[in-house]
Amino acid sequence: MSWLVAGLGNPGDRYARSRHNVGRMVVEEMARESGERFRKARFVPAEIAEVKIGDQRVVLVRAQRYMNESGPAFASVAKKQAVEPARVIAIHDELDLPAGALRVKLGGGNNGHNGLRSLEQALRTPEFLRVRVGIGRPPGRQDPADFVLEPAGRKAQAEMAVWTDRAADAVRSLILDGVAATQDRFHRASSP
Protein backbone atom coordinates (compact mmCIF):
# COMPACT_ATOMS: atom_id res chain seq x y z
CA MET A 1 0.00 0.00 0.00
CA SER A 2 1.08 3.53 -0.74
CA TRP A 3 1.15 6.79 1.19
CA LEU A 4 0.50 10.32 -0.04
CA VAL A 5 2.17 13.36 1.47
CA ALA A 6 0.32 16.59 0.67
CA GLY A 7 2.56 19.63 0.98
CA LEU A 8 0.09 22.45 1.49
CA GLY A 9 1.17 25.77 0.01
CA ASN A 10 0.78 28.13 -2.91
CA PRO A 11 2.49 27.72 -6.30
CA GLY A 12 4.78 30.31 -7.82
CA ASP A 13 7.80 32.38 -6.87
CA ARG A 14 5.71 35.04 -5.13
CA TYR A 15 4.87 32.66 -2.25
CA ALA A 16 7.88 30.33 -2.36
CA ARG A 17 9.51 31.79 0.78
CA SER A 18 6.35 32.52 2.78
CA ARG A 19 5.46 30.86 6.09
CA HIS A 20 2.24 29.59 4.51
CA ASN A 21 4.34 27.42 2.18
CA VAL A 22 6.12 25.40 4.86
CA GLY A 23 4.18 22.24 3.89
CA ARG A 24 5.19 22.61 0.26
CA MET A 25 8.80 23.19 1.37
CA VAL A 26 8.76 19.89 3.27
CA VAL A 27 7.76 17.76 0.25
CA GLU A 28 10.28 19.61 -1.91
CA GLU A 29 13.02 18.87 0.62
CA MET A 30 11.99 15.21 0.86
CA ALA A 31 12.14 14.87 -2.93
CA ARG A 32 15.52 16.60 -3.07
CA GLU A 33 16.96 14.33 -0.34
CA SER A 34 15.79 11.28 -2.28
CA GLY A 35 17.22 12.55 -5.56
CA GLU A 36 13.75 12.70 -7.14
CA ARG A 37 12.18 15.45 -9.21
CA PHE A 38 8.58 16.51 -9.38
CA ARG A 39 6.75 15.77 -12.59
CA LYS A 40 3.34 16.83 -13.81
CA ALA A 41 0.53 14.50 -12.79
CA ARG A 42 -1.67 13.50 -15.71
CA PHE A 43 -4.98 15.36 -15.91
CA VAL A 44 -4.60 16.81 -12.39
CA PRO A 45 -3.30 20.28 -11.43
CA ALA A 46 -0.49 18.82 -9.32
CA GLU A 47 3.10 17.66 -9.45
CA ILE A 48 4.26 14.40 -7.90
CA ALA A 49 7.50 12.72 -6.92
CA GLU A 50 7.66 9.08 -5.82
CA VAL A 51 10.08 8.07 -3.07
CA LYS A 52 10.65 5.08 -0.81
CA ILE A 53 10.60 5.35 2.97
CA GLY A 54 11.73 2.01 4.30
CA ASP A 55 9.86 -0.42 2.08
CA GLN A 56 6.88 1.93 1.72
CA ARG A 57 6.01 3.69 -1.54
CA VAL A 58 5.34 7.38 -0.87
CA VAL A 59 3.88 9.89 -3.32
CA LEU A 60 4.91 13.47 -2.55
CA VAL A 61 2.44 15.99 -3.96
CA ARG A 62 2.44 19.74 -4.46
CA ALA A 63 -0.72 21.23 -5.94
CA GLN A 64 -0.63 23.75 -8.75
CA ARG A 65 -3.68 25.57 -7.40
CA TYR A 66 -3.78 28.08 -4.57
CA MET A 67 -4.05 26.51 -1.15
CA ASN A 68 -7.72 27.30 -0.55
CA GLU A 69 -8.65 25.32 -3.69
CA SER A 70 -5.92 22.66 -3.62
CA GLY A 71 -7.92 19.85 -1.96
CA PRO A 72 -9.36 18.39 -5.18
CA ALA A 73 -5.87 18.04 -6.70
CA PHE A 74 -4.57 16.12 -3.67
CA ALA A 75 -7.73 13.98 -3.51
CA SER A 76 -7.53 13.18 -7.24
CA VAL A 77 -3.93 12.02 -6.93
CA ALA A 78 -4.86 9.94 -3.86
CA LYS A 79 -7.70 8.29 -5.80
CA LYS A 80 -5.50 7.59 -8.85
CA GLN A 81 -2.78 6.14 -6.61
CA ALA A 82 -5.32 4.10 -4.55
CA VAL A 83 -4.32 5.84 -1.30
CA GLU A 84 -6.93 5.74 1.47
CA PRO A 85 -7.54 9.02 3.40
CA ALA A 86 -6.02 7.45 6.56
CA ARG A 87 -2.72 7.15 4.63
CA VAL A 88 -2.75 10.79 3.49
CA ILE A 89 -0.38 13.05 5.46
CA ALA A 90 -1.06 16.78 5.13
CA ILE A 91 1.77 19.10 6.14
CA HIS A 92 0.73 22.66 6.93
CA ASP A 93 1.58 25.84 8.78
CA GLU A 94 -0.13 26.51 12.13
CA LEU A 95 -0.53 30.03 13.53
CA ASP A 96 -1.69 28.75 16.90
CA LEU A 97 1.54 26.88 17.63
CA PRO A 98 4.72 28.69 18.67
CA ALA A 99 7.26 29.11 15.89
CA GLY A 100 9.14 25.85 15.46
CA ALA A 101 6.74 23.68 17.47
CA LEU A 102 5.56 20.52 15.74
CA ARG A 103 2.40 18.51 16.36
CA VAL A 104 1.16 15.35 14.71
CA LYS A 105 -2.39 14.02 14.79
CA LEU A 106 -5.00 11.97 12.99
CA GLY A 107 -8.19 13.82 12.13
CA GLY A 108 -9.64 16.84 13.87
CA GLY A 109 -10.90 20.23 12.79
CA ASN A 110 -9.34 22.64 10.33
CA ASN A 111 -9.01 25.57 12.78
CA GLY A 112 -9.91 27.99 9.98
CA HIS A 113 -7.06 26.78 7.75
CA ASN A 114 -8.41 27.03 4.19
CA GLY A 115 -6.01 24.42 2.80
CA LEU A 116 -7.17 21.86 5.35
CA ARG A 117 -10.81 22.79 4.74
CA SER A 118 -10.37 22.23 1.00
CA LEU A 119 -8.65 18.88 1.60
CA GLU A 120 -11.34 17.72 4.05
CA GLN A 121 -14.06 18.57 1.55
CA ALA A 122 -12.27 16.85 -1.33
CA LEU A 123 -11.46 13.69 0.65
CA ARG A 124 -14.96 13.80 2.19
CA THR A 125 -13.50 13.13 5.63
CA PRO A 126 -11.30 14.88 8.20
CA GLU A 127 -9.71 11.51 9.07
CA PHE A 128 -6.28 12.01 7.54
CA LEU A 129 -2.93 12.57 9.22
CA ARG A 130 -1.60 16.06 9.85
CA VAL A 131 1.86 17.39 10.55
CA ARG A 132 1.28 20.85 12.00
CA VAL A 133 4.30 23.16 11.80
CA GLY A 134 4.08 26.11 14.18
CA ILE A 135 4.82 29.51 12.67
CA GLY A 136 3.63 31.59 15.63
CA ARG A 137 1.42 34.65 15.63
CA PRO A 138 2.30 37.85 13.76
CA PRO A 139 4.03 40.60 15.70
CA GLY A 140 2.01 43.56 16.94
CA ARG A 141 -1.17 44.22 15.02
CA GLN A 142 -0.03 42.76 11.72
CA ASP A 143 -2.81 41.03 9.81
CA PRO A 144 -2.31 37.24 10.03
CA ALA A 145 -2.99 36.92 6.27
CA ASP A 146 -0.15 39.33 5.50
CA PHE A 147 2.11 37.55 8.00
CA VAL A 148 1.67 34.11 6.47
CA LEU A 149 1.85 35.24 2.83
CA GLU A 150 4.75 37.72 2.88
CA PRO A 151 8.25 36.43 2.10
CA ALA A 152 10.03 35.55 5.33
CA GLY A 153 13.25 37.42 6.12
CA ARG A 154 16.69 35.84 6.09
CA LYS A 155 16.62 34.87 9.78
CA ALA A 156 13.12 33.38 9.47
CA GLN A 157 14.22 31.46 6.36
CA ALA A 158 17.04 29.83 8.32
CA GLU A 159 14.60 28.88 11.09
CA MET A 160 12.12 27.52 8.55
CA ALA A 161 14.83 25.27 7.08
CA VAL A 162 15.20 23.63 10.50
CA TRP A 163 11.41 23.26 10.85
CA THR A 164 11.25 21.74 7.37
CA ASP A 165 13.86 19.10 8.25
CA ARG A 166 12.06 18.20 11.48
CA ALA A 167 8.68 17.98 9.72
CA ALA A 168 10.20 15.67 7.08
CA ASP A 169 11.55 13.49 9.91
CA ALA A 170 8.04 13.44 11.44
CA VAL A 171 6.57 12.28 8.13
CA ARG A 172 9.10 9.45 7.92
CA SER A 173 8.35 8.52 11.53
CA LEU A 174 4.58 8.46 10.87
CA ILE A 175 5.08 6.08 7.97
CA LEU A 176 7.57 3.79 9.71
CA ASP A 177 6.52 3.96 13.38
CA GLY A 178 2.90 5.15 13.49
CA VAL A 179 1.07 8.03 15.15
CA ALA A 180 1.64 7.28 18.85
CA ALA A 181 5.40 6.78 18.56
CA THR A 182 5.73 9.89 16.38
CA GLN A 183 3.72 11.99 18.82
CA ASP A 184 5.82 10.73 21.71
CA ARG A 185 9.04 11.57 19.91
CA PHE A 186 8.16 14.93 18.37
CA HIS A 187 5.74 16.49 20.83
CA ARG A 188 8.24 16.26 23.68
CA ALA A 189 11.12 17.51 21.58
CA SER A 190 9.31 20.29 19.72
CA SER A 191 8.70 22.86 22.40
CA PRO A 192 10.96 25.75 21.36
Query: Residues 113-132: pLDDT tens digits?
Result: 889 999 999 999 999 999 99
Q: Please report, for the domain that includes residue 33, its CATH number.
A: 3.40.50.1470
Q: Of 20, 92, 113, 187, which residue is the catalytic one?
A: 20
Closest of 30, 94, 101, 69 to residue 38, by C-alpha? 30
Domain span at 31:
2-189
Per the annotation, the verdict on 20 as an active-site residue is yes
0.95 cut: is pTM over it? no
The CA-based angle 112-81-23, given to 5 degrees, is: 35
Domain count, the chain: 1
Query: Residues 75-111: pLDDT tens digits?
Result: 999 999 999 999 999 999 999 999 999 999 999 988 8
| pLDDT in the model for residue 88 | 98
